[in-house]
Structure 1
Amino acid sequence: MNWIKGALVEAAPSDKVYLGMDSANGLLMAVKQVNLPDVSAANKERRRNVLNVLERELDILRGLQHPHIVGCLYSSVDNDHFNIFMDYVPGGSVAALLRKYGAFEEPLVGNFVRQVLRGFSYLHEKNIIHSDIQGANILIDSAGMIKISGFGLSRKIDQCESTRNVFAASPSDKCPLDLITDNSKHTPSFWGSVFWMAPEVVNQTAYMCKADIWSVGCLAIELLTAEHPWAPLTEMQAAFEIGRISKPSIPSNISADAQDFLRRTFEVNHEARLGEEELLQHPWFSLEVAQSTA
């Protein structure tokens, strides 16, 4: 397809997202563009591994259709780039909004977290682990509807309660801590995402949908404070603390219901950690609805 590249929307170590326009019909799109290793013989294996990761992301996105999941339109690849064309979400990421407006009020955080959990309900029913929930991957449209994006590290497993180890299955399916220490600009990376990781992911003891629940607790802290959990620490320091089964600090200036919600998301035993359907019944969301309609 022919498209026109517009302004840079978001930049990450391994990819950039641009505003794009379909030159045939004028449709505005978000275009995730990943630089590919060159086609030389020396980079043949690296290029194949990167393409495998991107094709896996694309396969997951193509099978998703939900109000709280960003839609995938199509893709293209050339010698230099792999492009994924997605629905344009005009509000941008909540991480960008936090940089612009500062921390959100608690009722708004509850509203956003509830929408993310509804998206999780859909994903987890399909046995898909998102694996990279953070403010940069949560988009908001002009009506305040949340759209989950950033599926580059997502996995589909046999069943969502599986605790089998699926790490490091191949060079294109690296475990998170390998990705943290991979300095290649061409490799999709967890660099910067460790702050949202669950202990079982850092320790590579289990890989299941409940890891996303821990991450949504970290997202809530990010929205409430405009800082990611473990803010004083580096990525490797945070990984060490999480691996020791430490928990993020819960803000003291939020309601008792919000604090209880966060404590439940930070249950260290992933088998005892509540799922999204149970958390959607939490009293915190009843309070948020009451305040938003007052």
Structure 2
Amino acid sequence: MIYPGVFILFTEYVEGETIAALARSLGGVEEDGARSITRQILSGVEHIHRQGLIHHDIKGENILISSTGCVKIADAGMTRIDVSDARVLASPFLAPEVYMTVDFDCAIDIWSVGAVIVELLTGRHPWADASVAFLLLKAPEFESPDVKMTGPLKTLCSQVFCSPQNRASATTLLSHPWILGCDHS
């Protein structure tokens, strides 16, 4: 039976777990594992952005990893073309500009990918102990969390945890030396 005004979405079943659960159970993953997962996330984000969409809710709980290591981005419930009607929820994965204005673009997803990288490495939410007030106050600072990482990953994070005007695109990040596995440190 079809219901007027009801949209039903069928999605692929992924047998596995979220990367948040994986990282938490391991107490964080090694950089090589984080690199492989991040490369797949960025490929998915690049595809979303090429469609003119913003996912708006990239976080470890919304990224699935299959038993074979295949990564899938899930929960497109907040995906937007026009962000003027987007709800702002306090989350350590949201880019700071989301708290400051409704004028944001796909760069917010890139910040969120950076937050997911931190979660992968540490097994914890970025800014895990932060209050909502802190999340709102950190907005103008555009700083990455203090996490031990190699030089190439620090460089990548500097292109992610920065002002939206300077933030790299998914396409640019896919050719970054850290993603490609090059170590120039």
**TM-score normalised by L of structure 1:** 0.57
Give the 3 Å change call, closer, same or farther, for CA 174–279 of structure 1 in structure 2. Answer: closer
Counterpart position of 1:202:
99
1:105-160 residue CA offsets vs partner (Å, 9 max, x unmatched): 10010111111110111110111100011100000112101000011111024xxx
* One-letter amino acid of the counterpart of residue 215, structure 1: S
Deviations along 1:160-218, whole A, 9 cap, x unmatched? xxxxxx43xxxxx4530xxxxxxxxxxxxx35xx1011121111152211111111011
Which structure: larger Rg?
A: 1
Task: Return the alpha-carbon distance in structure 2 between the equivalents of residues 244 and 265 of structure 1.
Answer: 14
8 Å CA contact 2:52, 2:81 repeated in 1: yes
Which of structure 1's runs of 4+ aligned residues deviate more than 4 A?
none
Distance in 1 separating the partners of 2:115 and 2:123: 11
Q: 1:125 aligns with which of 45, 50, 70?
A: 50
Q: Quote the residue 1:263 is aligned against.
A: 158
Aligned counterpart in structure 1 of residue 87 of structure 2, from 171, 175, 178: 175
Amino acid at match of 1:225: T
**SS of equivalent residue, structure 1 residue 92:** strand
Pair 1:134-2:30 in alignment:
no
Q: What is the aligned counterpart of 1:275 among 156, 161, 169? A: 169
Runs of 5+ in structure 2 lacking a partner? Answer: none
Corresponding position of 1:241: 137
Q: 1-side partners of 2:23 and 2:46: how far apart?
A: 25
Q: Which residue in the other structure is 1:36 paired with?
A: none
Q: Secondary structure at the residue paired with 2:120?
A: helix
Indicate the residue corresponding to 1:102 in structure 2.
27
Give 2:127's aligned residue.
230
Shift in Å, 1:281: 0.8
SS in 1 for 2:175: coil
Cα distance change of structure 1 residues 106 and 137 upon mapping to structure 2, 3 Å threshold: same
Q: Match for 2:24: what amino acid?
A: R
Where in structure 2 are the equivalents of 1:54-73 lying within 5 Å? none
CA 1:140–1:207 in structure 2 vs 1: closer, same or farther (change >3 Å)?
same
Bigger drift between 280-289 and 259-268 goes to 280-289
More helix, by proportion:
2
Maintained 8 Å contact 1:251/1:259: no
The 8 Å contact of residues 28 and 123 in structure 2, kept in 1 or not, is answered as: yes
> In the aligned structure 1, how far is the partner of 2:182 from the partner of 2:10?
35
Find the residue that maps to 1:119 and give its secondary structure: helix
Counterparts of 1:154 and 1:242, CA distance in 2: 24
> Identity across aligned pairs (percent)?
33
In the TM superposition, residue 288 of structure 1 has moved relative to its aligned partner by 6.6
SS at match of 1:147: strand
Structure having the higher strand fraction is 1
Q: Which residue of 1 aligns with 2:14?
A: 89
Q: Aligned letter for 1:232? A: D
* C-alpha contact 2:54 2:105 (8 A) present in aligned 1: yes
Q: RMSD of the alignment, in Å?
A: 2.3
Structure 1 gaps of 5+ residues are 2-51, 59-74, 76-83, 158-165, 168-172, 177-189, 290-294
- Shift of the alpha carbon at 1:262? 0.8
- CA distance in 1 between counterparts of 2:28 and 2:135 reads 25
Report the equivalent of 1:286: 180
